[in-house]
Amino acid sequence: MTPLYILTKKEYVQMFREFKIIWLPLVFMFLGATQPVVTYYLPSILAALGGNQGITIDPSMTQQDGAQVIAATLGSQFDQLGIMIIVISMMGIIQSDKANGMLDFILTRPVKVGAYIGGKLLSNFSFIAISVMLGYFVSYVYVNFLFNNIPFLEMILAIVFYLIWVLFILCFTFMISTIFNGQGVIALISIVCLLIFKIFSGLHPIIDLLNPAGMSQHAMMVLITGSIDSHLYGNMFITLVWITLTVTFSHYWISEKKYHKN
Amino acid sequence: MKLEIKNVTKKFKSKTAVNNFSMVVEHGQCVGLIGPNGAGKSTLIKIISDILYADKGEVLLDGKKISNMKREIGYLPQYPDFFHWMTAKETLFFMGQLSGISKEKLIDEVPAILTKVGLINEQNEKVQTFSGGMKQRLGIAQTLLHKPSFIVMDEPVSALDPIGRREVLNLIQEIKHDTTILLSTHILGDAEEICERFVIMKQGKKIEDTTINKLITNNQESVVHLEIASSDLKWVELIEKLPYVKNVELIGKRAKVRLDNVQLNKNRLLRDALESNIDIVKFEVGSSDTLEEIFLKMVVSV
Amino acid sequence: MKLHYGLNDFKDIDWLAVLQIAAPFIVVGLILILIALFDLYRHRNERSNVLLWTIVILFFNTIGPILYFTIGRKGEKPNEVRN
C-alpha cells in the first residue's frame, strides 16, 4: 500500500462519486459521433430543405473521405470543445486541494510530493485517455459505417500521437492549477494558451517542431496521408520535454511550498 | 521525544511573522503557545509541522530534521477540513493509510478511535454534513490514529461553541498522558486548564516561558479586594489618602486596594470601614492579578 | 422561398436509416441529461439556482448537462460555522 496507490485510488473514488466517470466519457463519445453524423447528413438535410430552391450541392464534392472526417473529429471537435471540457473538468485538480487545506494536510503525512503528483496525473491521465479513446472509437465506428474503412494501424498510430498532446494538455492545466488560486483564472489561462498552441500549429515547420499541438497535427496527417511525417519524432521528443518541464515545475512549486498565499 | 526549535525566523514579504524563536519541549510535556491574534503562533505551528519552511533556523525532533520524522507527528490544523465527499470512516482510512498503517490494522482501530472522539454513530456520514466541532473531533481522531509521539494543535478550541469546546478540551485532557503536546491558543483559560507550561509569544518573539505556578508567584502581590454598596463609593476616595494605602483601583463597585503591609494593615482598613459605617459586600485578601490580567499586562506592555 | 413543407418532401429521407445512426447519439444525450438531473436532485439543498439548472439541463441539449457538470456544481454551501 504505497501512498501513490492510495492517492490514485482516492482520485478514482472521487470521480466515481462525482459521476465524472460516466459523464466525461459520454461527452467525448458524443463529440466523436458529431463529426461523422453531421458531415454525412448535412448534404441530404440541405438538399431536402433546399429542395429545388436553387441550393444545389455537387454530390462529388460532398462525398468526403472517411480519413478526413475522423481527422476532423480530432482537429475540430476534440481540439476545441474537447480541450475546453478537459481543462474545465481538471482546473481544480490542485487548486481545490490548496483551497481546503488538504494539500497541506496530506503533506504532513509521510507522503512524497512526487507520490502526490504521480497519483493525480496517473489517475486523471488514464481516465481522460480512456474517455478520449472511447470518443475516438465511436467516431471510427461511425466513419466505417457511413463512409469508408480506415486502416486499423493508422487509426491506432493517430490516437497514440494524439494522446501525447492530451497528456500535455493535462500537465499544462496541472501546472497552471498549481500556480494560480482562482478557478476562473486557471481555466482562462489554460484554455487561451492551449488554443493559441493549436492555432499556431501548421503555420511554420520550425514552430511546429517546438509546438506540443503539433502532435495533434501529426495525428491528423497520419490519418489523411497514411504516412508519418519526418518531423514527427523531433516533435514528439520536444513535446515530451515540455511535459517533463511542466511536471518538474509543479513539483518544484509544491515542494518549495510556493503555493501558500502569503 | 524531544522537540528543539532553534532560532526560527520566518518573513512574509515585509512582515516578520516569527522572529528568532527558540525553545525546547521535553518528552511528555504539554506546552501551551499563547499570544494575541497575529503573534505568529499559526506560522510557528506550521513550521513545526513542516507545512512552511523557516527562512532561518531549524526544527529538530529527537535531533533529526522534522521532514524525516512525519510519522511521529500528529498535526491538527486550525480549521480541519477534509474531502467533503468522504465519510468520517473513509477519511480516517485515507489518512491512516497515508501514514503507513495497514488496512487490517485500521479495520480494528478506526471504530475504537471514532468511539473515543464520539463520532461512532456518524461514521458513515459525509464530512460535508459535519459541524465545526465534529470536524475538529474528526481532526483529533486523525491526529491520534498513527499514535504519534508528538502532537501539534493549532487553536484546537478557539472556533468552537461552548459545548464543542468542552468536548475537545476533555479529549485533550485524556490524550495528554500518552503524548507530548504543543498547542496554540489565544484564550488563556483553555491553556491553563490543559497545560503546565506556557510560552507566550508577541510579534513573533518569545516573551515568556514559564509554568503556571511560577507565573502566579512572580506576579503575586497581595491586595485587598473590596466590594461595597454604591452609595458609599465616596469613602474609597477618602482611603486613598490614608498613609498605609499605596493606591486604589476602582472598577465599578469593586476596588482593588494596595497596602504597605497587607498583614498588618488589612485590619486597620477594615476597622476604618466599620467606623465609617460602610455597607461592605465583600472584603477579601488575594493575589493582585488573575492569570488573564498577568497575560494581558505582558502582551500589552512588553 | 417555400416555408411550408408537405410530407412528400420528407419521403426522400430514409427515416429508418437515420434512426439507426442517430439512436446512439440520442441515447448518449439522454443519459447525460438523466445523470445531471439525478445529481442535481441529490444535491438540491446545497446548490444555488436549482430551477435554473433544471431548465438548462433539459432544454440545452447535451451542452446543458456538460455545463452543469463542469461549472454548475460550484455552488456548494460554504463550510459550517467557523466562529
> Is the pLDDT assigned to residue B218 strictly greater than 80?
no
Tell me the residues of A at the C interface, defined by beta carbons under 8 Å apart: 18-20, 22-23, 26-27, 29-30, 33, 37, 40-41, 44, 47-49, 51, 53, 85, 88-89, 138, 142, 145-146, 183
C17 close contact with A: CB closer than 8 A? no
Dihedral over alpha carbons A216, A218, A222, A225 (to 10 degrees): 120
A261 lies in a domain?
Answer: no
Q: Where are the domains of chain C?
A: 7-71
Domain membership flag for residue A39: yes
* Minimum distance, in Å, between the CA of residue A235 and any CA atom of chain C: 32
Residues composing chain C? 83
Which of B81, B84, B159 has its CB closest to that of C83? B159
On whether the CB atoms of residues B149 and B179 are closer than 8 A, the answer is: yes
Is B14's Cβ below 8 Å from some Cβ in A? no
- Grid coordinates in use for A189? 489561462
Cell numbers standing for residue A99? 483551497
B40: distance to nearest CA of chain C, Å?
20
Give the least confident one: A26-40, A183-197, B262-276.
B262-276
**What part of A 13-42 touches B (C-beta under 8 Å)?**
14, 17-18
Architecture per CATH, domain B221-301, reads as 2-Layer Sandwich (3.30)
Domain ranges of chain B: 3-217, 221-301
The interface residues of chain A toward chain B in range 188-247, judged by CB-CB distance below 8 A, are none
Question: Cβ(A93)–Cβ(A124) under 8 Å?
Answer: yes
pLDDT value at B300 more than 80:
no
Which cell numbers in the block locate residue B217? 508567584
Tell whether the model's pLDDT for residue B39 goes beyond 90.
no
pLDDT above 70 as % of chain A? 92
- Topology given in CATH for the domain delimited by B3-217: Rossmann fold (3.40.50)
How many separate domains does chain A show? Answer: 1
- Contact (Cβ atoms closer than 8 angstroms) between residue A120 and residue A178: no
pLDDT at C8 over 70: no
Cell 494543535 maps to which residue? B153
Distance linking the first and last C-alpha atoms of chain A? 35
Q: Provide the 10 A C-beta neighbour count for residue B239.
A: 19
Shortest distance between the Cα of C46 and any Cα of chain A, in A, equals: 14
Q: Name the residue of chain B whose CA is nearest to C45's CA.
A: B129
Chain segment B226-250, per-residue pLDDT in tens: 888 877 777 877 888 888 888 888 8
- Could you tell me the strand order of the sheet in which B222-228 lies? B245-251, B254-259, B222-228, B280-287
State the smallest CA–CA distance between residue B224 and chain C in angstroms. Answer: 38
CA distances from B156 to B50, B201, C49 (A): 18, 17, 36
Interchain CB distance below 8 Å, A85 and C70: yes
Q: Is A111 on the interface with B (CB under 8 A)?
A: yes
CB neighbourhood size of B25 (10 A): 22
CB contact under 8 A, A37 and C21: yes
Question: Is residue B32 within 8 Å of residue B194, measured between CB atoms?
Answer: yes
**And the C-alpha cell for B237?**
476616595
CA distance B26 to B261: 41
Does residue A97 have a pLDDT over 60? yes
Contact B62, B1 (CB under 8 A): yes
B84 and C81: CB-CB below 8 Å?
no
Which comes out higher in pLDDT, residue A62 or B216? B216
Q: How confident is the model at residue C19 (pLDDT cuts 50, 70, 90)?
A: confident
Q: For residue B182, give the C-alpha cell.
A: 504543543
Nearest residue to A157 (alpha-carbon basis) of A127, A135, A136, A130: A136
The answer to whether the CB atoms of C80 and B84 lie below 8 A apart is no
From the number of C-beta atoms within 10 Å of its C-beta (0-12, 13-18, 19+), residue C6 rates as: exposed
Residue B55, chain A, CB below 8 Å: the answer is no
Is B81's CB within 8 Å of C81's CB?
no
Residues of C in contact with A49 (CB under 8 A): 5
**Residue B15 distance to chain A (closest CA, Å):** 10
What grid cell was written down for B100? 503507513
CA distance to B10, B48, B83, per residue, from A103 (Å): 21, 16, 11
How close does chain C come to B50, measured CA to CA in Å?
24
Q: How confident is the model at residue B169 (pLDDT cuts 50, 70, 90)?
A: confident
Give residue-wise pLDDT tens across range A64-89: 788 899 999 999 899 999 999 999 99
Closest chain C residue to the Cα of B136, Cα to Cα = C82
Alpha-carbon dihedral sign for residues B67, B71, B77, B82 = positive
The whole-number pLDDT of residue C80 equals 36
All three cell numbers of A251, joined, read 513539483
| Chain C: touching chains (3 or more CB pairs < 8 Å) | A, B
Q: Are B148 and B41 in contact (CB under 8 A)?
A: no
Could you say which DSSP state residue A215 is in? H
Instruction: Give yes or no for B81 touching C (CB within 8 A).
Output: yes
And the C-alpha cell for B231? 452609595
Domain limits for position A175:
3-255
* Whole-Å CA distances, A198 to A80, A186, A212, A214: 9, 18, 8, 8
Give pLDDT tens digits for B175-184: 888 889 999 9
ipTM: 0.86
Q: How do beta strands B30-34 and B180-185 pair?
A: parallel
Residues C28-83 have pLDDT tens digits of 888 889 999 998 888 887 777 888 888 888 888 778 888 888 777 765 544 433 32
Measured in Å, how far apart are chain C's first and last C-alpha atoms?
A: 69
